[in-house]
Structure 1
Amino acid sequence: MDNNITASGALNGTLDAHNATISASQETVWSLLQDFSFLALEAQLVLGALGIIYVGAHASLHRPPSAAAPTRQKGTKKNDDHGDHRDDERITQGLELSDAIMFPVMAGIMLVGLYYLIQYLQDPEILNKVLRWYISTMSIVSLFSLYAHGMGLVVGFIFPRYWRGRDGVLRKANQATRQVSLCDDVGNVSHPGKDGDSPLPGVLSCLPLGKRAGKAAWDARELVMRQWLFKFYVHGMGDEKAKIKLTHMIAFFASIATALIYSSTSSSFLSNVLGYGLCYGSFLVLSPTDLLIGSLVLSGLFVYDIVMVFYTPYMVTVATTLDVPIKLTFKAASRQSILGLGDIVLPGLLMAWALRLDLWLHYQRKVKYEPTELQIREKDDSGTVVIRKEMKHREIKPPYVTAQGAWGERFWTGVFGRKPMPAEISASKFPKTYFYATVIGYALGMAATLSMLLVFKRGQPALLYLVPGVLGSLYVTAFARGEMKLIWGYTEDGSIDTKDVVVEVDADGRATKRIGEMKDGVVDTTKDDKKKKDEREEEAKKKDDEAKRIKDAKMKESHKVFNISLETMPVAPG
């Protein structure tokens, strides 16, 4: 009996140990599955953040100071083949040194105010409704830009201007004649098209479209590419003109619908859409101006984020309590991952600036210096102004070609291998060294954030890892390439956007000294840069005053009071 009891006890003990082992194994597997689910969720969050930064940074491209404005023939208008080109000159709000202090201060005031308002109201639903309505309304413009540009991108893939057929030959669609011409690799027409050509690209062009279907395809292409000129005038208030297309109108109503639906349903998906729209709009209108200001702004917010997350309850409470589009939220089962829009926009602004820096460097390397005999006005040792003639070199900037969009054309023209492309397509391909360096730095910063989140099981201040990642990658790349002084001098405040600059060059043809700006064949070195800037501003002010005087004189005669019109524009060839 004792033996039986002993054997039974030993068997039970063995079974218990086995069951414990199985239970531990199951817990380990479940923990791994949970961690995998968490990592998949976080990967979705990181890719979403990087995606909107990548798209927004490319949408923010405009003519760099190292490129000349494209010349247009007198009496001609700039027609956009795809209708998605924005103006070469974009209006942006550049940050100033004072913003390096005000950003964290204002952010702190708003965060603390929201925290105590939540504590006072007890029920955050009232605050959520007010903020949802306010942010939904304010995000309509940003959503419109995101939707319109997104639809323009889709149109570029369906109805590109250029594409290569299966034979590898470049083709160009002409909407005005509704024909597809054969071109050489740089876009020069070699064989004119014929009636009945399909406007669809690539292998789709081989589809046997009947006469009616072919006409419908060209009609659809014209519908999405045709531009209308919208004019709005109110006496004493302003005269506005804008080119609009079908995609713009669809985007306008879609952005309003998105805002209305979100404000009434509070969908987490639509909240993320509005968040992406706000990020995208920020990249289009805000600029760090230069590396110093961008570094100071990020450094100040780096300290702010650490203090607010680790040493106060403000950040975590507000982020988890408010259900408004000030964050990206991704959910999977019982897990939820949150990333504040500030963790996307603030590093993203510097990353977009880095992309524009790459474009500036790309055109800077194309600048040429043309020998020119000039009259130079300068002061001698006694202070007397003298004029002498001397052979100097005038800076010749290359004309700017729009670097935005053309992703559809790049896809269809490059699908059959690496071949030359027309200038309006290849312009979007330029070395993006500093931008990709910051992308890697941002990805590493997010990886560090997620690692610390798994280790400490609590919310982490993302800027603690993102700021060193983005700034560090930018500075390390600049030092490694020996270009720190060069990029430190790049600014978007307009001071380096000059023309007719005269320089001295060395034996290798590189500019070594800036002498001044040429005006009417004379270079005046007797005035400093500040005086020249003041003179330019004064001259611009005089022109504005004269234009206003002429306008006011005309207004005293019979004039329009209010007018709204929509005019069709000629069909562009492309």
Structure 2
Amino acid sequence: MRQQISFREGLLAPVVLSVSLFGLYLLIKFTDFDLQTFLSAYFWLLATVAITGAATPLLRRVGDALGQPTLAVTVPEGLLMDDKGEGVTRAELRPSAAAAVALAAGVATWDALHHGDFTLNNMVACLVATELLQLLGIRSFRAAALLLGGLLCYDVFWVFASPEVVGDNVMLAVATSDAVTGPTRLLFPRVPRVGGQVPDFPFSLLGLGDVALPGLLAALALRYDASRSTDMRARATAAAEAIQEALGELGPGASRQQMGDAAAKAAFTAYDAVADREERQRNLSQGGGSSSTSSSGGGSGGSGAGDGEGAAEQEERVPVSDALLVQRPTFTAAMVAYVAGLLLAFAANSATGMGQPALLYIVPSMLGALVLSGLLRNELGRLWRFTDVPSWKPKPASTK
């Protein structure tokens, strides 16, 4: 089940991360605690889970094509939950799932034993970031601005201010420590002529947070675009199914006029029903109730003024159509700004020879691009009010 970061959680994140970072620094600097063994075991488990998640769909597709058997097992109550937060009591096991776990454990073990292989490290780190983006989301752009703004201050303080306050660059000391060797960073071979603050460390690095955290904002921008896209495929499919059903109910002696009237009425009703569900989803994302009028001109599918959020949440969310592949201006602006901010961070690092807090360049670039995109499309207010609405639960089956 996808966990959403709220406004309050965004406010607390920099504090929690600061305590964790400084705690790691104190353990590395002033204790004999075997932090490396503990973190290696933790990162091994994290990498195994991430690789399993990436490998399972592919191996399952291959296994199904080869006719793999399926074993149904009973799951103890409360042990597993599905995407809707409901308990799972029966599960299906396939040989491909066991193969995915074995592959993941093998790759994670190889990565743990060969820390110098930056290519493998980067692959595992990217899979971990992908898994995090699937499990986490940001509820609104308000929460995103607070979260990323707070983490920008966190990043800047522990890179630039900590040498004055603590007497050491805490962020750099932890990031380049031999104890922290898991998939928490992307490594790149250092250009020989470019120096650095840690001459013995052979790589330039980018923290995984500098990928995953802006990724949360980009994912929210994509979900905003999805809420604004027009799902013509869902509307057309609903209309076609309604026409087919309506014609099937007519007797064999129905006239052409009767068939035309029945098809038109069914198509209008079905088309408007999908359009109204999209409209209610948009209204919920803006913090309001459901629409009081039909979002399309004709038909009898208008939503009543008495429909509330509770009723809308009992509907099945309308699938996103292929229109989102082209109707995503907010997401495009966020991604272009992320690349620009990252290039600025690399340029500053190369020019100064000092470690740079990447969020110092990425956050203003992305937030500025979203504000500009909203202004140009006259959607800044709507963007600011947007709330990512969780998937609606399907209507319960009729008992009639």
TM-score by length of 1: 0.47
Shift of 1:499: 10
Shift of 1:290: 1.0
Kindly report which structure 2 residues correspond to 1:40-439, keeping only aligned pairs within 5 A, or say none: 91-121=1-31, 126-149=34-57, 222-223=65-66, 228=70, 230-234=72-76, 239-243=88-92, 247-269=96-118, 270-312=120-162, 313-321=169-177, 322-331=180-189, 336-363=203-230, 367-368=275-276, 369=294, 370-371=299-300, 400-401=318-319, 426=322, 429-439=325-335
Highest RCO, 1 vs 2 (Cα 8 Å, sep ≥ 6): 1
The answer as to whether partners of 1:144 and 1:255 remain within 8 angstroms in 2 is yes
Distance 1:316 1:293, change over 3 A: same
Q: For each residue in 1:529-574, what CA deviation from the matched residue of structure 2 results, as whole angstroms up to 9, or x when unmatched? A: xxxxxxxxxxx9xxxxxxxxxxxxxxxxxxxxxxxxxxxxxxxxxx
Shift of 1:102: 1.4
Query: What RMSD, in angstroms, separates the aligned Cα atoms of the two structures?
Result: 3.6
Aligned to 2:364: 468
CA distance in 2, matches of 1:286, 1:273: 20
Instruction: Give the secondary structure class of the aligned counterpart of 1:139.
Output: helix
Unaligned runs of 5+ in 1: 1-90, 160-219, 378-393, 404-425, 501-539, 541-574
The answer as to whether partners of 2:50 and 2:131 remain within 8 angstroms in 1 is yes
Q: For each residue in 1:490-519, what CA deviation from the matched residue of structure 2 results, as whole angstroms up to 9, or x when unmatched? A: 32244x95999xxxxxxxxxxxxxxxxxxx
Q: For each residue in 1:231-257, what CA deviation from the matched residue of structure 2 results, as whole angstroms up to 9, or x when unmatched? A: 333368675334565554432211111
Distance 1:482 1:429, change over 3 A: same
Distance 1:114 1:454, change over 3 A: same
CA distance in 2, matches of 1:436, 1:364: 19
Distance 1:330 1:114, change over 3 A: same
The answer as to whether partners of 1:128 and 1:324 remain within 8 angstroms in 2 is no
CA distance in 2, matches of 1:302, 1:98: 17
Shift of 1:448: 0.6
1:449 corresponds, among 331, 335, 345, to: 345
Q: For each residue in 1:44-65, what CA deviation from the matched residue of structure 2 results, as whole angstroms up to 9, or x when unmatched? A: xxxxxxxxxxxxxxxxxxxxxx
CA distance in 2, matches of 1:402, 1:329: 36
CA distance in 2, matches of 1:454, 1:333: 9
CA distance in 2, matches of 1:96, 1:448: 30
More helix by share: 2
Instruction: Give the secondary structure class of the aligned counterpart of 1:324.
Output: coil
CA distance in 2, matches of 1:483, 1:498: 29
CA distance in 2, matches of 1:310, 1:478: 33
CA distance in 2, matches of 1:227, 1:436: 43
CA distance in 2, matches of 1:475, 1:360: 18
Alignment-mate amino acid for residue 284 of structure 1: Q
Distance 1:151 1:302, change over 3 A: farther
Kindly report which structure 2 residues correspond to 1:504-523, keeping only aligned pairs within 5 A, or say none: none
Shift of 1:293: 0.6
Instruction: Give the secondary structure class of the aligned counterpart of 1:459.
Output: coil
